[in-house]
Amino acid sequence: MLNQDQCWEALERRDRNADGKFYVGVLSTGIYCRPSCPSRRALPKNIRFYATPKEAERDGLRACLRCRPLELARDPAAEKIQELCRYVEAHPDDPHDLADLAARAGLSRFHLQRSFKAAVGLTPKQYVEACRMRKLKQSLRASKDVAEAVYDAGFGSSSRVYERADTRLGMTPNQYRQGGRGVAISYATAESPVGLMMIGATDRGLCFVQFGDDEQELLAALRREYPAAGIAAMTTPHPAEFRNWIAALTNHLAGNQPKLELPLDIQATAFQMRVWNYLQSIPYGEVQSYGEVAAGIGKPSAIRAVARACATNTVALAIPCHRVIRGTGELGGYRWGLARKRALIDLERAKRAAAG
C-alpha cells in the first residue's frame, strides 16, 4: 500500500528520487505522470496515486508525453534490446543466430527471445529478416539483377527470399523490382457504418481496406497505391474466401467480431511492421496515445515516426490505427477523416460497454 502522506510530500518537492516508486494520476486531464513532472500542478481533488502504470491505466489514464513515466517501468533488458536492434539494422547481412544475439546482449537465449518479442513485437529472427527485406527492397532498385540484390541483402539463396516474399514484399522480388507489374488485385465495395468501404485483395490476402464517399474516389486511391498492378473488379458471385473477408470486416464494424485475424498482403519496413503489430494488440474499444505506442515498441522518442506509420496504413480496421490518439486526448490525424475516426472509437466503446 502506498503511504499517501509520503506521496504528497514527494509530489510537492517534485522529488526525482520518487520517480518509479509511484505514479501521479490526474483525473481531470486523464493522464498519469512521474512525481517530478514539471507540468502545472492539478487541484488536489483530481489527483490519485498509483503503485504501477497498469493501475493508472485501469482507471482510464494515459502516460504523460512530457515526463514519459512508462520509461521508468520498462523491462531492465529494454536498453539492451534497443542496442541489439541498432546493431542488426547496421549489419543486416551478418548471420545473427539466436545464440550470437543473446551473447551480444548479455542475456540467455530464452530471456532474449521473450524480452525481444515483448519490446519489439517480433522475434529476433523475424526482426533480422525484416531488416534484410528492407535492404533487399533498396537493392532491387539499384542492383543489375535479382540475384545480386538477394545476396547483397544477406540471404543465402534466392529460394529463401521467394519463400518469404508473400509475407514481406507482397510480391516476388522480380515483381517488386518492376514496380508491382504482374500482380493481380481484385476489389469490391460494401456499405459500412462509416461510409463506403473498398476492399482490395491479391491471392495472398487483403492489400487495401479504405473508406470514401464514392467508388471512383476509392478506385483512384487503390490505383495510386499500386500503380503497376493489374486491378479489376471482383467477379460475381464473389469467391467464398473473399466473402468471408468482407463478412469479417462488416461483423467487426457491427461490434460482433472484436478480434480481426485476416491474411494481409502488404509492404512494410521493419519499423512499420513493429508499429502495425503493436496496433493489432490494442484491445477493442481502447485507445492509446502516439507516445504510448512509441514506448510500447521500445522507441519512446519516435512519436512522429509512429504517427507516420499510422498514416501510411493501407488496411483500415485490420491494422486499427484509429485507436491511436494524441496524448492531450485530441483525435490527431486519420487519413479517412476525423469524423470516421471518432465514429469508430465511439462505436467500439459503446459495444464494449454493452458487452461488459
CATH number of residue 54's parent domain? 3.40.10.10
Question: Would you state the pLDDT for residue 162?
Answer: 42
CATH number of residue 120's parent domain? 1.10.10.60
Beta strand segments in 213-281, E: 230-233
DSSP per residue over 90-152, as a string?
H-TTS---HHHHHHHHTS-HHHHHHHHHHHHSS-HHHHHHHHHHHHHHHHHHHSSSHHHHHHH
Last residue of a domain, one of 111, 144, 179: 179
CATH number of residue 224's parent domain? 1.10.10.10
Active site residues: 33, 321
Assign 249 to helix, strand or coil.
helix
Could you say which DSSP state residue 315 is in?
B
Question: Would you state the pLDDT for residue 169?
Answer: 44
- Say yes or no: 59 and 173 in one domain: no
- Say yes or no: 167 and 224 in one domain: no
- Say yes or no: 341 and 195 in one domain: yes
Question: Would you state the pLDDT for residue 325?
Answer: 93
Low-confidence ranges of the chain (pLDDT < 70): 1, 72-79, 118-121, 133-181, 356
| pLDDT mean across residues, the chain | 81
Structural domain boundaries, residue 265: 183-356
Last residue of a domain, one of 159, 179, 199: 179
Beta bridge partners of 230: 184
Calpha distance 244→241 (Å, rounded): 5
How far is C-alpha 141 from the geometric centre of its chain's CA atoms? 27
Calpha distance 61→40 (Å, rounded): 17
Question: Would you state the pLDDT for residue 161?
Answer: 47
Question: Would you state the pLDDT for residue 146?
Answer: 47
For the record, the C-alpha cell of 251 comes out as 461483423
DSSP per residue over 72-95, as a string?
GGS-TTHHHHHHHHHHHHH-TTS-
- Say yes or no: 265 and 356 in one domain: yes
- Say yes or no: 94 and 132 in one domain: yes
Question: Would you state the pLDDT for residue 174?
Answer: 55
Q: Which of 221, 228, 238, 227 is nearest to 186 (CA)?
A: 238
Q: Provide CB contacts within 8 A for 58, sequence distance 6+.
A: none
- Say yes or no: 80 and 172 in one domain: yes
User: Which of 120-131 are b and which e, b meaning 16 or more Cβ less than 10 Å from the residue's Cβ?
Assistant: bbbebebbbbbb
- Say yes or no: 188 and 170 in one domain: no
